[in-house]
Structure 1
Amino acid sequence: MMNNTANGDAFFLIAVNGTYLAHSNPEKIGRSALEDFNFDTLQKLLARETTTILDNENGLLIGSYRTTLTNPLAVSVGNIEEKTVALNSLTRNILLQLFSALLLVSIGAGMAVLSILRPLVKLANFATEVSQGNFNAKFDDRRLSGELAMLSSSIKSLTTSAQNSILSLENRV
């Protein structure tokens, strides 16, 4: 096996018949590549011009290239773990950032919903108090706007009108 000492990859040159044309161990030259590869892997390599194979069983990433099917095959073999360390780290970082962003968006959305619901709940409580006959109930609607402000104003107007009607009826009796 020809080794690239810089990053631990191994390189071979394999003939179309599956024998080594070049190998770091001179004794393997001319011998079958089946000594280093299983039958299915060697068959896949020899059947294509260019390919990449993940051999998870042996933890190898195998890449090959040749210009035509009649030319020798240049093969590079490397450790999957070594090749995927940076990718795994990047994936972890992206997932962590995605989770953090999702958490922040969820918190922001929750705060937005609460800021909308809180005045609505207070207004509903005010309406409940009035419906139970507590015409002295107070509701601060200075911070409301839009439909909630209109609803608050209507409930207050209805309360005042009901209170006046009740006073008028009491005075008649």
Structure 2
Amino acid sequence: MALGSLDKHLSRLELGNERRFQILRDIASGLHYLHTGCGEILVHRDVKSANILLDQNWRGVLTDFGIARTLSLETTTVVTQRIVGTRVYMSPEYCTGLVSPSADVYSLGVVILELVFGCLALHSPKGSDTDIISFLDECDNTAEFYLSCWSRSDGERLEELAEKCTNPYRDQRPTIAKVLEKL
């Protein structure tokens, strides 16, 4: 892919808000297909900005299916002993071994935050060692940390969507179809 991985471009303002929205729509569309369009459910389990590659037109493509897990349409949740991935992108239930499409929605919520704030999830927009999820919990006014390419309303809308996606209770997260609809 001509432009490499998304994680290398998060803070680049020339990426702009329209491209950022398009990348999110591209990835949400890909996840929607994996969760609903294959005749079975495929849970990626490692959605993160380093696994999103960009083509020459800034279109996002989800890659690295090395730890993906196939579920039947009847069994939409399984328990695994093998928990792998990058911790900050992992949903609370996945950290205990529960695999479901909702875990990918959580991870996408973290990517949304990375695009809103222009930093990797392992860091906070303030530049401290706090991760981006902890930053949200601790900060009273996150809007002052949005990248300048976002209008306040777009930033707030995306942050609200990301907060819904990263809800610690999986049954309260939106489906990937609802996320795609919002984007």
Query: TM-score normalised by the shorter chain: which range applies?
Result: under 0.3
Q: TM-score if structure 2 supplies the norm length?
A: 0.19
Which is richer in strand? 1
Q: TM-score if structure 1 supplies the norm length?
A: 0.20
Computing the radius of gyration from Cα coordinates, the structure with the larger value is 1
